[in-house]
Structure 1
Amino acid sequence: MDKVKKIPSGFIYFFGSFGGILFGYDIGVMTGALPFLQHDWDLQNSAGVVGWITSAVMFGAIFGGAIAGNLSDKLGRRKMILISSLIFVIGSILSGLSPHDGQYYLIIVRIFLGLAVGAASALVPAYMSEMAPARLRGRLSGINQTMITSGMLLSYIVDFLLKGLPEQMAWRLMLGLAAVPAAILFLGVLKLPESPRFLVKNGKLDEAKQVLSFIRKEDEIEDELKTIQETAQDETKVAKNTSMSTLFTGKYRYLVIAGVGVAAFQQFQGANAIFYYIPLIVEKATGNAASSALMWPIIQGILLVLGSLLFLLIADKFNRRSLLTLGGTVMGLSFILPAILNKVIPNMSPMMIVVFLSIYVAFYSFTWAPLTWVIVGEIFPLAIRGRASGIASSFNWIGSFLVGLLFPIMTANMSQEAVFAIFGIICILGVVFIRTRVPETKGHTLEEIEEQGIKHHHAKKAAEETSVEN
């Protein structure tokens, strides 16, 4: 017991969110690897194959998020993060060992790797939100986004440093080196405690109290433990009758639709089209080879990291809905304006689209990028949190998969400005969704957020009964 008591809260929060590094590295690494892979395997005119190789990780992540969400309710958040890191090590090494022209091999391996990426995207926010106190939950959950963006920037830097190697070696090393942060995560998580809410739910009160002593002030422990116990008892009664269909009915529906909707919109807004394909976007805009445009991903990566750090400063000072509204509006305009300007000023510099994309990335980095995972981590009731987080993660990855798969096909058949204008309209629809379907969660305990869902359900039920009587 004494050994366990030495775990500092900073260590818990750091390695609790470190899964984001893996998530980010694998989102970013293909950006730099793709130009070399395309040339090595002669895929310049194979938009479908390029789309599948790029988006295979996201396809696997669709299932990884759902599976990990369900299993984490049975095995615990910590154990599932450990399993995910092992899958990541194996998948990364196998990616780096791809045989020449092994398109199908690489697609299958990257789908396998996606299971771990999807699991990390579901587990890390759930774990962090359950460890963080309500007053700091936005900031501490936002560390996950800092980790993701740091992982992306790390992958961009690795890609840039390796670009001088022979092409067949360069892209393999870029993909294979993802095993290093995965191994670090595994070793760190070995020392992490389990989530106190999971422990209470499984009757391990002494362990839950001990974990709370690492991360709470002494006078907060008993009250929080009591609140978690009461909620867990109520939820255990209904959990036995909770199936996948239950999530979208009754008292859970309002909060589940809100959380899943935010997760889906984050991807359908098109951010990953920039992150996966920025060298190819610059190539199409300027005519220069994509392999010589690897400084652009680093610029985008720096913007993302700076934005995530800004979010840590402002996370618990502004309402979640206000930040999402601001971000979504500017992001939408950044995508729509180039298409309008292109019509008004036919000779406009093609690099203007890259400038607008940089504005998009800057606002995305401190609004939709971190807040999606904060909301996914805090909005779902305890009885369904693992399962609902898994579904939200899966919807997020469905959007990411479709964007990654379809973007090269779309840009092969229409102008980049038109493609981004479509994403801009989706950004504006996301703002409408936030204003009409998502409750404010800042500063509320997880139990208070759940109460909002129950009140909304009762109010809707009462309104329906009144309309029937009339």
Structure 2
Amino acid sequence: MSEKKISSKFIYFFGAFGGILFGYDIGVMTGALPFLQSDWNLSGGGVTGWITSSLMLGAVFGGAIAGQLSDRLGRRKMVLYSALLFMVGALLAGISPHDGVAYLIFTRVLLGIAVGAASALVPAYMSEMAPAEKRGSLSGINQLMIVSGMLISYVVDFLLKGLPEHIAWRLMLALAAVPALILFLGVLRLPESPRFLIKTGRVEEAHQVLTWIRRPEEIDGEINAINETARIEQKAEKSTSWGSLLEGRYRYLVIAGVMVAFFQQFMGANAIFYYIPLIVEKASGQAASDALLWPIIQGVILVLGALLYMAIAEKFNRRGLLMMGGTVMGLSFILPAVINSFMDTNPMMIVVFLSIFVAFYAFTWAPLTWVLVGEVFPLAIRGRASGLASSMNWVGSFVVALIFPIMTASMSQEAVFAIFGVICLVAVAFVMFRVPETRGHSLEEIEKFGAEKEAK
């Protein structure tokens, strides 16, 4: 390892840059899809749903695989591999043969493996590099990077929309290789996580890394704390199994964390992010390829919401924000269907209500889900429980992306979103009755509360 000092800002920036990668590929299909549908003459929602959702299918496996391999190979090395796989997948998608549906689905699965890996590795790396007092705000930076990646992809889609359709969508997908290349080059200079170095016996290297990102008086104490945590986790791995997640003392908290991750996707946010041009097309009659300004508006709202969250993260209780956000989100989905049942309205009204949904999602459920998941699981089962929550989240994202075009082909958009609105309100009720408050409580206090609730 080079003895040359690396700026902590450089480390945190490129440590979080994987979020840009993650966000770009979530967003890019939004603009590419209308051109792809026209170029390949895709009719019906089934094929469109599979092409879009195949990314999330890959991500289910990518997150699980990356978590296991990063414990053996290191966080940094796995981020590098993910960036390489992402570059390959993006370029392969960009050279898709005409009508090559199976080929494109395969490349999207490859991309999904890389995206899923990045979504698991980036928060882990950031939490291990950041000092304790900065972890909350740095989790906000990760969310900001993700939504910034989405906004960048929407702007790229908009700028390329004047190209011939068979070139436009391929170039949109291929350009995802650019942030992957930037990530790869940046991570080449990043150090390995001190936690991984200590776990693998490389204490001197860990000490060197900590001199770059900690005050001198903090280093020895942190090394001792990492050693103690590693000892506890090693003991937990031997004494717990997947079945432990359903044991009485853990069950309440496991259900709380996993279900919050599950609800975050089944509320329908990704239906907007993936399909907003098609939603506008159906509402207004305007061609979807001409409606690419709407994703940019959604992207700006998401970025502003992420900034708002960073400003208020430690000023309001987690449960209160989740319930308030979920209620407004649910009503913004249900009201268009209710209003339309009484009177004829401008079809674009639904798009206005969707923007309200995005605004409240951006500073409540989008970031808070992962803050809560990081806080609610007891240490002994945290690895397995967090992996289960992440997998459930990607499964939800996959299902919503797959079924939304099928649902809108068989019923009105207002009816589809009203269904998601009901799910939002069910999520609010779940948070009210089944999720503990974690803000301001130690992990030990949260674990004790969960055990007491389950014993009642």
Question: What is the identity, as a one-letter code, of the residue corresponding to 1:50?
Answer: T
Matching residue within 235, 238, 248 for 1:237: 235
Shift of 1:219: 3.7
Shifted more, 160-169 versus 200-209: the winner is 200-209
Q: Secondary structure at the match of 2:3?
A: helix
Shift of 1:179: 0.5
Partner of 1:442: 439
Distance 1:330 1:315, change over 3 A: same
Matching residue within 84, 107, 110 for 2:108: 110
Matched, 1:459 2:452: yes
Shift of 1:388: 3.5
Aligned-residue Cα RMSD (Å) equals 2.1
Deviations 1:68-125 (A, max 9, x none): 1222233222222111111101100000010000011101111111111111111212
Cα distance in 1, alignment partners of residues 255 and 77 from structure 2: 28
Cα distance in 2, alignment partners of residues 128 and 249 from structure 1: 30
Distance 1:98 1:425, change over 3 A: same
1:80-229 equivalences in 2 (<5 Å): 80-229=78-227
Shift of 1:378: 4.4
Matched, 1:13 2:6: no
Q: Is the 8 A contact 2:236 2:381 kept in 1?
A: no
Distance 1:132 1:375, change over 3 A: farther
Shift of 1:386: 4.4
Matched, 1:282 2:280: yes
Matched, 1:414 2:405: no
Matched, 1:369 2:369: no
Q: Secondary structure at the match of 1:240?
A: helix
Shift of 1:281: 0.5
Q: Segments of 4+ in structure 1 off by > 6 A?
A: none
Partner of 2:346: 349
Partner of 1:467: none
Q: Is the 8 A contact 1:118 1:394 kept in 2?
A: no
Shift of 1:143: 0.8
Identity in percent = 71
Q: Secondary structure at the match of 1:125?
A: helix
Cα distance in 2, alignment partners of residues 252 and 222 from structure 1: 33
Q: Secondary structure at the match of 1:101?
A: coil
Shift of 1:325: 1.9
Deviations 1:410-452 (A, max 9, x none): 01111111111111111122222323333333356xxx42x23
Cα distance in 1, alignment partners of residues 305 and 47 from structure 2: 33
1:32-51 equivalences in 2 (<5 Å): 32-43=31-42, 45-51=43-49
Question: What is the identity, as a one-letter code, of the residue corresponding to 1:409?
Answer: I
Partner of 2:389: 392
Question: What is the identity, as a one-letter code, of the residue corresponding to 1:87?
Answer: L
Partner of 1:29: 28
Shift of 1:385: 4.4
Shift of 1:318: 2.3
Shift of 1:340: 1.2
Q: Is the 8 A contact 1:36 1:291 kept in 2?
A: yes
Distance 1:460 1:278, change over 3 A: closer
Q: Secondary structure at the match of 2:232?
A: helix
Partner of 2:72: 74
Cα distance in 2, alignment partners of residues 130 and 87 from structure 1: 24
1:283-322 equivalences in 2 (<5 Å): 283-322=281-320
Deviations 1:210-268 (A, max 9, x none): 43333333444343433333232122122124333334436544443333222211111
Cα distance in 2, alignment partners of residues 120 and 232 from structure 1: 23
Distance 1:290 1:190, change over 3 A: same
Question: What is the identity, as a one-letter code, of the residue corresponding to 1:156?
Answer: Y
Shifted more, 424-433 versus 106-115: the winner is 424-433
Matching residue within 421, 424, 430 for 1:424: 421
Q: Is the 8 A contact 1:273 1:404 kept in 2?
A: yes
Shift of 1:273: 0.2
Question: What is the identity, as a one-letter code, of the residue corresponding to 1:26?
Answer: D
Question: What is the identity, as a one-letter code, of the residue corresponding to 1:231?
Answer: T
Q: Is the 8 A contact 1:160 1:294 kept in 2?
A: yes
Q: Is the 8 A contact 2:252 2:451 kept in 1?
A: no
Cα distance in 2, alignment partners of residues 10 and 456 from structure 1: 37
1:332-347 equivalences in 2 (<5 Å): 332-344=330-342, 346-347=343-344
Deviations 1:22-55 (A, max 9, x none): 1111111111001000000001x23100000011
Question: What is the identity, as a one-letter code, of the residue corresponding to 1:9?
Answer: S
Cα distance in 1, alignment partners of residues 440 and 217 from structure 2: 19
Question: What is the identity, as a one-letter code, of the residue corresponding to 2:448?
Answer: K
Distance 1:254 1:122, change over 3 A: farther
Cα distance in 2, alignment partners of residues 419 and 358 from structure 1: 16
Q: Is the 8 A contact 1:125 1:376 kept in 2?
A: no
Q: Secondary structure at the match of 1:452?
A: helix
- Unpaired segments of 5 or more residues in structure 2? none
Question: What is the identity, as a one-letter code, of the residue corresponding to 1:303?
Answer: I
Distance 1:105 1:132, change over 3 A: same
Partner of 2:258: 260
TM-score, normalised to structure 2's length?
Answer: 0.94
Shift of 1:457: 5.5
Partner of 1:58: 56
Cα distance in 1, alignment partners of residues 352 and 317 from structure 2: 28
1:324-339 equivalences in 2 (<5 Å): 324-339=322-337
TM-score, normalised to structure 1's length?
Answer: 0.91
Q: Secondary structure at the match of 2:397?
A: helix
Question: What is the identity, as a one-letter code, of the residue corresponding to 1:23?
Answer: F
| Count of aligned residue pairs for this structure pair | 456
